[in-house]
Structure 1
Amino acid sequence: MPLHDALESMVAKLRNRVLSIGGRKRFRSLATTTSDHLPRKLPTSLDFPPWAYEPSRSCIDRRGARPVMTTPHGIVDTPGFVAVGTNAALKVVDFPAADDAGQQLVFSNTYHLLLHPGTDVIREAGGIHKFTGRDGPFITDSGGFQVFSLKYGGVAESLESGGELKRSPSRGKKKPYWRSDVMGKVKVMEDHVEFKSYRDGSKIVLSPESSIRAQKDIGADNSASVIEQIIIPLDILPPHHIAREELAASVERSHRWEARSLFEHLLDSRDRKQAIFCVVHGGTDVELRTKSLEYLTTLPWDGYAIGGSLGNGREEMKTLLSWMMPLFNTIERRDKCRHLLGIADIESIHCAVHHGFDTMDSSYPTKIARHGTLLTKDGLIRIKRGQHAKSFGMKIDHDCECSTCTHYDRAYLCHLFKSNEPLGLRLATVHNLHFMNRLMADLRRDILHGKV
């Protein structure tokens, strides 16, 4: 590179860094006040450096016949299913088996990785890709979902969806197995949220900035110039039944936290090229959802995630998506990824794809597999039922080509589950992952042919 060009590049990088730091300082001055009850001014697009608005590294190319999401190391077919590997691991299957089943994106949880093994350990290992031996892209969340599940009492349900709190050993014979001494003790302040580790009861402080730093540690890779990782900012996740005044306050604070997260991300995003998605909130309230969407999409995010409560049941979710998702079709918004957080059962997937979602994550297919429920084109199969005990030579799904269906029949799967053999869990999980990815491939084909 000529000396003149090298100097010009160095000056440009320095200018951008100063702009990002200056913007962060301006935002902190706007966000800080002496009382949690006083309103705070949110930053605008002008508070962010110009280079942050360059074309996204995770944009969706919707101009071609087949929409894809670009990542630093390649593309991800969309719409696509994202499997949940809470502890940087898919339960009972390894990543090569998941890759063989067509799994492209995996979702891991910062909250659990922060508590064990610690994000510093993952950073020292060379990042999550080297730590796990997986080359494919990851999405990491902020950890907020688990924290606010503790606060609002939904922790048991959230942990059944992939968490590990119930496996924490008790200290002493009189201690409860579920460590109820740490549940519900969550303190939310303007700057951060405090909670106790379910592993040892130690105090944990999570802020928008520390959540981003933790996720960057998880994705750190000193040997590569680019990283395949999508990160999520810290936000507040209120329950469905919350009063509107509280919901509005949580949306405003989420916006402040997400803006702080974005500033933190931009400080070194030129070196570590993770993508960052905002999280649109507002529950089922039309005004709050619209306000959240319109504000967040003015900032330089790489993609949009839809989070928070989507209603009390699937019908409310369908109503919400029917009026909200068209708002993403403006010129400024249409080429960025749209991710549906935490929902990916079969019926919801069809609804989400119809409304333009590109990716969606859920532990649903792997969780039900471990309980003996298998996915097929004709509906669910409860493989532990006696009717399958002599289903010799019968595949789980008649035209499935996964490794489980290629080598084993329903009778053997029924035997494995009845005998409590761990192999049954693995084979069922491989099949369900393959089914989900084949379903997404079929939907992509339908989009190509104009059927969706």
Structure 2
Amino acid sequence: MTPPGARRAAAMGLRRGRRWLSYQASEQIAAWVASEEPAPPPSDFEGWEPREFFRFEVLHQSKSSGARVGRIHTPHGHVDTPGYVAVATNAALKHVDHTLTDYSEEDGGQQLMFCNSYHLLLQPGGEAVEAAGGLHRFMNRTQPLITDSGGFQVFSLANHSVTDELNSKLNSKKRYPKGTMRVSEAGVVFRSYRDGKLVDLSPEKSVLNQKQLGADIIIPLDELPPFHTPARDLVRSVALTHRWEARSLRTHLADLRQQAMLGVIHGGISRELRTWSAEYISGLPFDGFAIGGSLGRDTAELLGILGTVMPILRADGGRLPPGTRKPVHLLGVGDEGSIRAAAKTGVDTFDSCFPTRLGRHGAALITGGSRINITNSRFKTEYRAVLDEECGCRVCSQGFSRAYLHHLFKAKEPLGPQLLAIHNLRYMERLMKGIRSEILNDML
């Protein structure tokens, strides 16, 4: 006999017949899920219809895997997929003039860039960006942009898990202590890392802030608990995120402004919770999906998550108009091994500060998947060797030697990190172009 908790969980969207309800731990999770306040059912929303200003087309489906080559169309141009999305945290790539990367493949050719609404909320503020004509005009970019809700930054900064991307104030002894954050049904109250002031961020305020920024693609507010969160607390977190996302979606649908919204899938490394989240979020009229939250400790755990989530998201095509699909974005993943593995499951886009961060620390990505650290003493006398003979970026094609780049880092010249960041961005574009070619030839 099926336990009552499992029956209630199934009624909430956890489909009957899934084997995860067959063992005790899953029955406990199902009971916890059933005890949570439910989010609004998909029937409370109108069905999704393709947008005139945003669409995703699948150009080729690999015969070897779930990988696909596609194209996302936005008001500011198209994005080829699978594609890498560079992170311009404060509406700027670290150490790189992003206007160089708008058009030129040699300089990275970033079709889509990711800006952090959390940081822009604190400086200069959504109103200031809106007064400037929106984020595209403010940062002098003509191609597509995506912004997040700020949830990742709010929760990860509070847990001090991304200190490498923090403002220099946070890296000093003036860092605000843990425990400066309050989470409730209404939203989250946190302390600004810039001036220590309390900031009240609700799902609705997060959407309105992103409306002021005006990016082509936006993301609703979500809660991001630490990796080692107990299972019971993780259930509460996913349930809260679902309610927040439903509220965010209502706010967005009331004033589209030619923006698309991605629904975020949560649940940590729990197969049960990922199933619940994917089935609920895919039932809502989002324009695409983002896989977020804790993605595991390694590629194996990441693939476990994708193995659960992607079949559900791909099945969403059965509820869409013929020939229509929705793109899937993987949040915060940028290493080559994970990208290749995730692309085989059907993930379309990836964002990460990985290549520019490597460049800041003297590391260059090299053809074949290896990397070198230019600060190593062995490069001091490599006067005629460029970073990568097979690379066509301006750093390599114009003959900047390894010895010169080594000197720049030893002399602490800002030009060093800039040149390596340009090179690494170009590497990522070559990587994604190669992956698309492999899929088109059914090799991936």
The Cα shift of 1:102 comes to: 1.2
SS in structure 2 opposite 1:69?
Answer: strand
In structure 1, give the amino acid aligned to 2:169. R
| 1:4-31 deviations in Å (ceiling 9; x for gaps) | xxxxxxxxxxxxxxxxxxxxxxxxxxxx
Contact 1:150-1:184 at 8 Å conserved across structures: no
The Cα shift of 1:258 comes to: 0.3
Q: How does 1:73-222 map to 2 (within 5 A)?
A: 73-99=76-102, 100=104, 101-151=108-158, 153=159, 155=160, 157-160=161-164, 162-164=165-167, 166-167=168-169, 177-219=172-214
Give TM-score, length-normalised by structure 1.
0.83
- Between the aligned partners of 1:45 and 1:204, the Cα distance in structure 2 is 31
In structure 1, give the amino acid aligned to 2:57. D
- Between the aligned partners of 2:327 and 2:53, the Cα distance in structure 1 is 10
Contact 1:56-1:302 at 8 Å conserved across structures: no
Contact 2:70-2:80 at 8 Å conserved across structures: yes
In structure 1, give the amino acid aligned to 2:84. F
Q: How does 1:294-313 map to 2 (within 5 A)?
A: 294-313=279-298
- Between the aligned partners of 1:192 and 1:329, the Cα distance in structure 2 is 31
Matched, 1:394 2:385: yes
- Between the aligned partners of 2:163 and 2:128, the Cα distance in structure 1 is 23
Counterpart position of 2:346? 356
Contact 2:296-2:302 at 8 Å conserved across structures: yes
The Cα shift of 1:182 comes to: 4.7
Which segment drifts farther, 193-202 or 249-258? 193-202
Matched, 1:53 2:60: no
The Cα shift of 1:431 comes to: 0.2
| 1:13-50 deviations in Å (ceiling 9; x for gaps) | xxxxxxxxxxxxxxxxxxxxxxxx98433222322235
| 1:293-325 deviations in Å (ceiling 9; x for gaps) | 001101100110000111122221122223332
Structure 1: give runs of 5+ residues left out of the alignment: 1-36, 169-175, 220-227
Structure 2: give runs of 5+ residues left out of the alignment: 1-33, 62-68
SS in structure 1 opposite 2:334?
Answer: coil
Counterpart position of 1:370? 360
Contact 1:58-1:337 at 8 Å conserved across structures: no
Matched, 1:327 2:315: no
- Correspondent of 1:264 among 228, 251, 263: 251
- Correspondent of 1:336 among 326, 329, 342: 326
C-alpha RMSD over aligned residues: 1.9
The Cα shift of 1:62 comes to: 1.4
- Between the aligned partners of 1:328 and 1:142, the Cα distance in structure 2 is 21
SS in structure 2 opposite 1:62?
Answer: strand
In structure 2, give the amino acid aligned to 1:61. E
Contact 1:97-1:430 at 8 Å conserved across structures: no
- Between the aligned partners of 1:245 and 1:281, the Cα distance in structure 2 is 14
Contact 1:278-1:301 at 8 Å conserved across structures: yes
Percent identity between the two aligned chains? 45
Q: How many residues align?
A: 393
Counterpart position of 2:335? 345
Give TM-score, length-normalised by structure 2.
0.85
Q: Which structure exhibits the higher relative contact order, with contacts defined as CA atoms closer than 8 Å and separated by 6 or more residues?
A: 2
The Cα shift of 1:98 comes to: 2.3
- Between the aligned partners of 2:375 and 2:344, the Cα distance in structure 1 is 34
Counterpart position of 2:237? 250
- Between the aligned partners of 2:393 and 2:350, the Cα distance in structure 1 is 22
Matched, 1:231 2:233: no
- Between the aligned partners of 1:418 and 1:112, the Cα distance in structure 2 is 31
Contact 1:182-1:196 at 8 Å conserved across structures: no
The Cα shift of 1:67 comes to: 1.4
Counterpart position of 1:434? 426
Cα 1:184–1:263 shift into 2, 3 Å: same
- Between the aligned partners of 1:259 and 1:413, the Cα distance in structure 2 is 50
Cα 1:366–1:181 shift into 2, 3 Å: closer
Counterpart position of 1:62? 58
In structure 2, give the amino acid aligned to 1:184. G
- Correspondent of 1:443 among 429, 435, 438: 435
